[in-house]
Homo-oligomer: A and B are copies of this chain.
Amino acid sequence: MKNAVLITIGDEILSGNTIDTNSNFIATELKNIGIKVSQIFTISDEIDTIKEAIQSAFEIGDLIITTGGLGPTRDDKTKKAIAEFFDDEIALDEATFNHLKTYMEKRGRLEILERNREQAFVPTKSKVFQNFFGTAPCMMMEQSGKLLFSLPGVPYEVKPLIKDQIIPYLQERFSLSYISTRIVSVVGIPESILADTIENWELSLPKNLTLSYLPIGTRVKLRITATGDNEEVLQQQLEDEIQKLLPLIKDNVIATSEDKIEKILAEILTERKLTISTAESCTGGELAKMITSVSGSSKYFLGGVVTYATEKKIDILKVKKETIDEFTVVSEQVASEMAEGCQKLFGTNISLSTTGVAGPGKGEDGKDVGTVFYSIRVNDETVTSKLYMPHLDRLDFMNFVSQKILQDLVSILVSR
């Protein structure tokens, strides 16, 4: 199996200003064609550091992909470092310059600045992959059969370069072994007890299969990875092992193929032709966003409301004022009435609601930060639960609660 090393270049990641999402995307794409990322170096924009990282990376992997450090501004030094490392010169590449010119003209910028022209300069030994969504080209260098690809850092430029150009190039150039993965999603059992329960099964896995535990919220994802020459054989192997696993933890498994809870839900709702709507308070739109992040969600998601102000819960969702006065706005009763009102407003089979205090300030009625009540209404039955997560920051709280609600909904639907 080929090994890749990723080098992420840029002080904006080391300083905590930007989260590196490119590595995640590239690793996933490479995995699909059987290339394993064995290490990621995240380094600063300095020529010597970049050269040292390339040196170390070539010792570990057959393939290096660098991102970042190719923009037109003063703090970008990747290109120089690459030329120096490969003992090469930088020169104007005619094809790249023409591509750049067309790119700029299409965007109505007729006058090409000196700084942009510099972007058409590449190491003379490089093979260029043109960038259709930005001005910095992707360059490939080669050394004793090992490859280095240098990409810009902007995620929406990286994605098409990887998907449309580099992956097909690698597929054609190498004959690669396959990797197949299946994810089994397990709920309602702590990781340590789960590990004990399936220990014998794990120890008897074939040598080319590996198991990882990925806890996410209150769910544990078991990832089983198989490596080999024949894709079909691998998939059969995975299916066989999952069939052996299921009897051990049957009641706790909510999915054996899709990975993300919103996609698991999408499959169930689409198959059963059910519709859903959301009424959010403390999750602030995150729940709707999570559901609509799935392509095709317009088939089952009819809509949602975020009723942040208390009176909007009354106006729009028809929560009774007396209920709020008696139990406060963060209560089981209000969550339940929100779900009912939401179901009526959107005319859906299922409705979800949240009311709570995301913090860090206390809620208007003095309820503790981290408290949330949520309701899941399916047809004419409502189930309301409480969560208390005081240690999560605001965004993590919104995300955790939304994950948990979708997970509970899936559990309810699966058990029917």
Q: Which residues of A contact B (CB under 8 A)?
A: 8, 11-21, 23-31, 36-44, 49, 56, 71-75, 109, 113, 115-116, 132-133, 135, 154-156, 159-160, 181, 190-193, 195-196, 202, 211-215, 221, 223, 225, 259, 278, 280, 283-293, 295-298, 301-309, 312, 316, 345-346, 358-361, 364, 391-396, 398, 400
Instruction: Please give the count of copies of this chain that the complex contains.
Output: 2
* Contacts known (A24-B16, A42-B23); A396 close to B155, Cβ less than 8 A: yes
- Residue of A132, A296, A305 ringed by the most chain B CB atoms within 10 A: A305
* B292 and A301 form a contact (CB under 8 A): no
Chain B residue nearest to A133 (CB atoms) is B391
| Interfacial chain B residues near A211, Cβ < 8 Å | 74-75
* Residue pair B23, A21 in contact (C-beta under 8 Å): no
Could you tell me if B298 and A303 are in contact, using CB atoms closer than 8 angstroms? no
- The reply to whether B305 and A212 contact each other, CB–CB distance below 8 Å, is no
CB atoms of B192 and A115 under 8 A apart: yes
Partner of A295, one of B25, B195, B360: B360
Q: How far is the CA of A181 from the CA of B11 in the complex (A)?
A: 13
Nearest B residue to A302, CB-CB: B309
Q: Which single residue of chain B is at the shortest CB-CB distance from A14?
A: B37
Partner of A74, one of B38, B202, B395: B202
Is the CB–CB distance between A303 and B305 below 8 Å?
A: yes
> Which residues of B are found within 8 Å of A291, using beta-carbon distances?
284-285
Task: Assess whether B192 is in contact with A223, with CB atoms less than 8 Å apart.
Answer: no
Residues of B within 8 A of A306 (CB): 278, 285, 288, 292, 303-306
Give the residue name and chain of the B residue nearest to A395 (CB): B293
- Asked if B295 contacts A303 (CB within 8 A), the reply is no
A31 is contacted by which of B15, B75, B159, B394 (Cβ under 8 Å)? B15
B-side contacts of A49, CB under 8 Å = 39
Smallest beta-carbon distance A243→chain B, Å: 21
Q: Which residues in B have their C-beta under 8 angstroms from that of A212?
A: 11-12, 75
What is the CA–CA distance of A312 and B29 in the complex, to the nearest angstrom? 38
- Known: A73-B191, A113-B192, A301-B308; 19 extra A-B contacts, CB below 8 A, are A12-B214, A15-B28, A15-B225, A16-B24, A16-B25, A40-B40, A56-B56, A72-B191, A74-B211, A115-B192, A159-B393, A285-B285, A285-B290, A285-B304, A288-B306, A292-B308, A292-B358, A296-B361, A303-B306
23 contacts across the A-B interface (CB closer than 8 A): A14-B36, A14-B39, A15-B27, A15-B225, A16-B26, A16-B29, A18-B24, A38-B44, A39-B41, A40-B42, A73-B192, A154-B215, A288-B288, A288-B306, A293-B394, A295-B361, A297-B308, A302-B308, A303-B306, A303-B312, A304-B306, A304-B308, A305-B305
A234 to chain B: closest CB distance in Å? 16
Q: Are B156 and A391 in contact (CB under 8 A)?
A: yes
A304 to chain B, nearest CB (A): 4
A39 touches B42 (CB 8 A): yes
Query: A284 touches which one: B11, B288, B345, B398 (CB < 8 A)?
Result: B288
Complex Cα distance, B56 from A296, in Å, reads 47
Closest to A56 in B: B56
